[in-house]
Amino acid sequence: MSTAEETGGENMPWGEVTPDAARRLLIAAVEAFAERGYHATTTRDIAGRAGMSPAALYIHYKTKEELLHKISTIGHTKALAILESAADGPGSAADRLVEAVRSFVVWHAGQATTARVVQYELDALGEEHRAEVVLLRRRCDAAVRRILSDGVDAGEFEVPDVSGTTLAVLSLCIDVARWFSLDGRWTPDEVGAMYADLVLRMVGAGAPGPQN
Amino acid sequence: MSTAEETGGENMPWGEVTPDAARRLLIAAVEAFAERGYHATTTRDIAGRAGMSPAALYIHYKTKEELLHKISTIGHTKALAILESAADGPGSAADRLVEAVRSFVVWHAGQATTARVVQYELDALGEEHRAEVVLLRRRCDAAVRRILSDGVDAGEFEVPDVSGTTLAVLSLCIDVARWFSLDGRWTPDEVGAMYADLVLRMVGAGAPGPQN
Is A113 a residue whose pLDDT tops 50? yes
Q: What are the domain boundaries of chain A?
A: 4-202
When the pLDDT of each residue in chain A is averaged and rounded to a whole number, the result is 91
Euclidean distance between the first and the last CA atom of chain A, given in angstroms as a whole number: 43
DSSP character string of chain B = ---HHHHSTTT-TTTTS-SHHHHHHHHHHHHHHHHH-STT--HHHHHHHTT--HHHHHHH-SSHHHHHHHHHHHHHHHHHHHHHHHHTSSS-HHHHHHHHHHHHHHHHHHTHHHHHHHHH-GGGS-HHHHHHHHHHHHHHHHHHHHHHHHHHHTTS---S-HHHHHHHHHHHHHTHHHH--TTSSS-HHHHHHHHHHHHHHHTT-SPPPTT-
Which among B162, B187, B201, B203 is the top mutation candidate for probing chain A, defined by the most A β-carbons within 10 Å of its own β-carbon? B201
Out of B38, B201, B211, the one facing A37 most closely (by C-beta) is B38
Contact B168, A172 (CB under 8 A): yes
Shortest Cα–Cα distance, A152 to chain B (Å): 10
Q: What is the mean pLDDT of residues A147-176?
A: 97
- What share of chain A in percent tops pLDDT 70? 92
Residue B70 vs residues A60, B14, B147: alpha-carbon distances, Å:
42, 11, 29
Q: What is the mean pLDDT of residues A13-30?
A: 92
Chain B residues near residue A168 by CB distance under 8 angstroms: 172, 194-195, 198
Neighbours of A181 (CB within 10 A): 11
Query: What amino acid occupies position A182?
Result: L
- Angle of helix A162-174 relative to helix B188-202, nearest 10 degrees? 80
Out of B119, B165, B212, the one facing A208 most closely (by C-beta) is B212
Task: Output the pLDDT for position A12.
Answer: 58
Contact A155 B211 (CB under 8 A): yes
Which among B33, B45, B195, B202 is the top mutation candidate for probing chain A, defined by the most A β-carbons within 10 Å of its own β-carbon? B202
Question: ipTM of the predicted structure?
Answer: 0.89
Task: Output the pLDDT for position A207.
Answer: 59
Q: Which CATH number fits domain A4-202: 3.40.228.10, 2.60.120.10, 1.10.357.10, 1.10.287.610?
A: 1.10.357.10
Chain A residues near residue B119 by CB distance under 8 angstroms: 178
Out of B171, B176, B206, the one facing A179 most closely (by C-beta) is B171
Residue B137 vs residues A183, B61, B173: alpha-carbon distances, Å:
18, 24, 14
Task: Output the pLDDT for position B125.
Answer: 96
Q: Which of residues 78-137 of B touch A (CB under 8 A)?
A: 119-120
Contact B210 A171 (CB under 8 A): no
Contact A119, A30 (CB under 8 A): no
Is B20 a residue whose pLDDT tops 60? yes
Is A150 a residue whose pLDDT tops 80? yes
Shortest Cα–Cα distance, B56 to chain A (Å): 25
Q: Which of these ranges, A104-108, B13-17, B28-32, has the smallest mean pLDDT?
A: B13-17
Task: Output the pLDDT for position A142.
Answer: 98
Q: What is the pLDDT of residues B111-170, one digit of tens each?
A: 999 999 999 999 999 999 999 999 999 999 999 999 999 999 999 999 999 999 999 999
Neighbours of B22 (CB within 10 A): 18
- Contact partners, residue A163, CB within 8 Å, separation at least 6: A145, B185
Q: What is the pLDDT of residues B59-81, one digit of tens each?
A: 999 999 999 999 999 999 999 99
pLDDT band with cut points at 50, 70 and 90 for residue B12: low
Burial of A144 (0-12, 13-18, 19+ CB in 10 A): buried
Residue B167 touches chain A, beta carbons under 8 Å: yes
pLDDT band with cut points at 50, 70 and 90 for residue B15: confident
B1 → chain A, closest CA residue: A123
Q: What is the mean pLDDT of residues A15-38?
A: 94
Distance, CA of B75 to CA of A142 (rounded, Å): 34
Give the number of A-B residue pairs with CB atoms closer than 8 Å: 126
Burial of A127 (0-12, 13-18, 19+ CB in 10 A): exposed
Q: What is the mean pLDDT of residues A89-104?
A: 97
Shortest Cα–Cα distance, B36 to chain A (Å): 6
Contact B168 A198 (CB under 8 A): yes
Residue A39 touches chain B, beta carbons under 8 Å: yes
Out of B168, B174, B179, the one facing A195 most closely (by C-beta) is B168
Burial of B168 (0-12, 13-18, 19+ CB in 10 A): buried
